[in-house]
Structure 1
């Protein structure tokens, strides 16, 4: 039986360092698959009300800064964990933020291109961290 996890990146109070630490924790678990996605603020929710009152409550990614975090996350993630998804999409009429207008395949392509350009890959830093 395969074991998988889902992880939302950008929860209230979460820093980029916290997000990267999740890769370390998940790499220590007996996982086969992982689905990632960005925090989405949905109209009519408590979170939407809280963010309207205090926009600094959450980290607001641009597509570029989210790809940056994903690349750094993947470098730390155990290489045999299959990442099934990088983003999720709520219906536009329900979504407060982020409104990127990009599909999962577009993010996947951007992440792949960024890794290639950097000469990097999933798990590049995982082995280094094990031996540290």
Structure 2
């Protein structure tokens, strides 16, 4: 007899995020730069779960502009826009139950935290 282990909550969220990204690209509501690829990875741990979206195949010049801020180069408007679109997809997929990061060209452009999480209190 073979038993099948149910996927972890993080794996279920990652599956939903992958499907949402695929649908958004098909609908034309999410456009990636030429040559870019996306991946969605999940991890499950005692304190919760994390789902990360990475966009690879993009030059750092596309992500970071020439303007300097207090912490170094600033993200381009295109990178911020892509990060916001991916954050919306990830937020909807997690339903507020996971941590997550959105990386574009290896640079974190946005992140999410679980509902109710407060820095220094958890």
Q: Tell me: higher relative CO, structure 1 or 2? Use CA pairs within 8 A at least 6 residues apart.
A: 1
Answer 1 or 2: which has greater helix percent.
Answer: 1
TM-score, with structure 1 as normaliser: 0.31
TM-score, with structure 2 as normaliser: 0.33
Answer 1 or 2: which has greater strand percent.
Answer: 2
